[in-house]
């Protein structure tokens, strides 16, 4: 019998559902079921009855879980004491796509399961996450990975795509152009574009797209606040190049760019830090979560 099996049994008893217990423990349901079956075999009796209506706890199962609860509390206390009371820190840079794809609360839900971590979120739109990753001010970033030509020493970073989205032209809902099926790059000639602060990665990526497609913009509005940018857009001061999820989240219109351009939400960290347990565990959780979308 292992402490893992005991904790798994308590999770199933609490939720009366193998799938929900597996999700809470960040393991697969088959792995959870196998551990419970192995535990029941060793004990010589069933903890749970699996029926077409769900899961019921047997009489012996109730007795087992009552005896296991103090062990679970003692295990938590043991972990706290052997860490000498020192929490590990995790500093996370969050790009706007985290919010527009409704991931923030799910990230917090994951972190609630890891009280040993002291977490700092950095969310400023004008922040240079990549410089902060290099300096150690951030441990990881959830943001768009820029084109390789804009990222110095790109081999220093490890990245995994979580969500890939087509880029659109974002417009006020009452803008006549919102009815178009597509928005060609050459239609941006002479437009006013709303973007981030000068020399931020967002700004540099916009300039990269303009060079790539030979665009000459009329003027730029800049802000380090997505709310300010969206207020400018709704006031008809310009357009924003962004994903469909921005339009859904902020209640504006989106017209797909032609030719198509994609922008991803990526999990990014220094390559040397990719194997850190707290970073790797969060990455696997987010990959599994986003794969179900």
Pair 8, 145 in one domain: no
pLDDT at 58: 95
Same domain membership, residue 158 and residue 286: yes
For residue 145, give its domain range: 88-162+265-291
Backbone φ and ψ of 54, nearest 5°: 130, -145
pLDDT, residue 60, reads 95
Same domain, 175 and 46: no
Going by the DSSP 8-state scheme, the letter that residue 269 receives in this structure is E
Tokens of 92: 């996370």
- CATH number of the domain that 278 lies in? 3.40.190.10
Rounded distance, CA 176 to CA 153, Å?
44
Q: What is the DSSP string of 91-102?
A: EEEE-HHHHHTT
Residue that finishes a domain, picked among 52, 82, 112: 82
Same-domain pairing of 180 and 230: yes
pLDDT in tens, 48-63: 998 877 899 999 999 9
Q: What's the pLDDT tens digit per position in 112-157?
A: 888 888 899 998 666 678 888 988 889 999 998 877 777 777 888 9
Shared domain for 277 and 140, answered yes or no, is yes
Same domain, 140 and 269: yes
Residue indicated by tokens 């469909």:
244
Q: What is the pLDDT of residues 221-245, one digit of tens each?
A: 988 888 899 999 999 999 999 999 9
Task: Check which CATH number belongs to the domain holding 47 and give it.
Answer: 1.10.10.10
The torsion angles phi and psi of 86, rounded to 5 degrees, stand at -90, 125
E strand map for 58-181: 88-94, 117-122, 140-143, 157-171
Query: Are 77 and 27 part of one and the same domain?
Result: yes
Number of domains, the chain: 3
Q: Is the pLDDT of residue 86 over 60?
A: no
Q: CA–CA separation, 138 vs 141, rounded Å?
A: 7
pLDDT band at 7 (very low <50, low <70, confident <90, very high): very high
Does residue 84 surpass a pLDDT of 80?
Answer: no
* For the chain, percent of residues with pLDDT exceeding 70: 97
Question: Can you say whether the dihedral through the CA atoms of 269, 270, 275, 276 is positive or negative?
Answer: negative
Q: Do 117 and 250 sit in the same domain of this protein?
A: no
30 and 64 in a single domain? The answer is: yes
Which stretch of DSSP H or E encloses residue 268? strand 262-270
For residue 31, pLDDT beyond 60: yes
pLDDT of residue 185: 86
Query: Which tokens go with 154?
Result: 């790109």
Q: Are 33 and 97 found together in one domain?
A: no
Answer yes or no: do 175 and 250 share one domain: yes
Tokens of 10: 């308590």
> Cβ(257)–Cβ(193) under 8 Å?
no
The answer for residues whose C-beta is within 8 angstroms of residue 182's C-beta and 6 or more apart is 255, 256, 257, 258
Q: What is the pLDDT of residues 166-225, one digit of tens each?
A: 999 999 999 999 999 999 988 888 889 998 888 777 777 888 888 888 888 878 898 888
Q: Are residues 142 and 181 in the same domain?
A: no
Question: Cis (ω within 30 of 0) for the bond into 259?
Answer: yes
For the residues 245-272, what does the mean pLDDT come to? 92
pLDDT at res. 87: 58
């Amino acid at each position: 019998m292992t402490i893992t099996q005991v904790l798994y049994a308590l999770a199933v008893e609490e939720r009366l559902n193998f799938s929900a217990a597996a999700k809470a423990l960040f393991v697969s349901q088959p792995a959870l079921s196998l551990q419970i079956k192995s535990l029941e075999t060793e004990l010589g009796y069933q903890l749970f009855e699996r029926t077409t209506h769900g899961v019921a706890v047997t009489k012996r199962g109730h007795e087992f879980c009552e005896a296991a609860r103090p062990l679970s509390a003692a295990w938590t206390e043991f972990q706290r004491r052997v860490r000498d009371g020192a929490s590990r820190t995790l500093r996370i840079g969050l790009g706007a796509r985290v919010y527009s794809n409704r991931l923030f609360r799910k990230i917090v839900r994951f972190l609630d399961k890891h009280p040993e971590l002291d977490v700092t979120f950095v969310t400023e739109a004008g922040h240079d996450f990549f410089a902060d990753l290099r300096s150690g001010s951030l441990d990881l970033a959830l943001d768009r990975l820029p084109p390789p030509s804009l990222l110095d020493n790109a081999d220093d970073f490890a990245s995994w795509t979580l969500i890939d989205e087509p880029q659109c032209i974002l417009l006020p809902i009452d803008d006549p152009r919102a009815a178009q099926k597509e928005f060609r790059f050459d239609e941006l000639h002479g437009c006013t574009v709303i973007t981030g602060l000068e020399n931020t990665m967002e700004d540099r990526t916009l300039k990269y797209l303009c060079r790539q497609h030979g665009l000459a913009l009329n003027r730029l509005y800049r802000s380090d606040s997505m709310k300010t940018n969206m207020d400018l857009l709704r006031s008809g001061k310009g357009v924003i190049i962004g994903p469909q999820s921005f339009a859904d989240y902020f209640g504006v219109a989106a017209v797909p760019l032609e030719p198509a351009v994609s922008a991803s939400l990526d999990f990014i960290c220094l390559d040397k830090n990719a194997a850190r347990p707290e970073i790797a565990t969060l990455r696997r959780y987010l990959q599994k979560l986003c794969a179900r979308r």
